[in-house]
Amino acid sequence: MTQATSPLIDLLTQINAGIIIFEPFPRTSAELVAFQETVRRLQELEHLGLVRRVFTQVRNIAGQDYYDLAMVQGGMTAEGERLLAEHTGG
C-alpha cells in the first residue's frame, strides 16, 4: 500500500474536485516561497503514480528560480482514486 500524508490527500481531494491549476495566492514573496512545497508535493504525487502528469512553470526572481505555476494534466490515476476513496471513506 502506498503511504500518503494528509497534505497529499488534500491535494488529491482538490484534483478530484476539478482543480488542476495551482498558483501561489496572493502573489507575495512569502506565498511564492510557501508554494514551492505545494509543487514538491504535486511532483511526489506524480512520482508515486497517483496523478498522471504535472507540468510546472519556473520564474527567475532576483537570480533565484521559483515555481510559480503547476498544472495537473490527466487527473488522478486509478491508484490515486483508490487511495483517495480509502482515506475519505468513499
What digits encode the pLDDT tens for the residues 7-56?
999 999 999 999 999 999 988 889 999 999 999 999 999 999 999 999 99
Q: Is 36 inside a domain boundary?
A: yes
The alpha carbon of 11 is separated from its chain's Cα centroid by a whole number of angstroms, namely 6
Q: What is residue 89's predicted lDDT score, i.e. its pLDDT?
A: 84
Q: Is 73 inside a domain boundary?
A: yes
Domain count across the chain = 1
The alpha carbon of 5 is separated from its chain's Cα centroid by a whole number of angstroms, namely 13
Q: What tens digit of pLDDT does each residue of 73-89 get?
A: 999 999 999 999 999 88
Domain carrying residue 44 = 6-88
| Helix intervals (H) in the chain | 6-16, 29-47, 78-88
Distance between CA atoms of residues 35 and 79, nearest Å? 25
Q: What is residue 1's predicted lDDT score, i.e. its pLDDT?
A: 47
Can you give the pTM of this predicted structure?
A: 0.90
For residue 41, give the nearest of 58, 31, 54, 57 by alpha carbon: 54
Q: Is 1 inside a domain boundary?
A: no
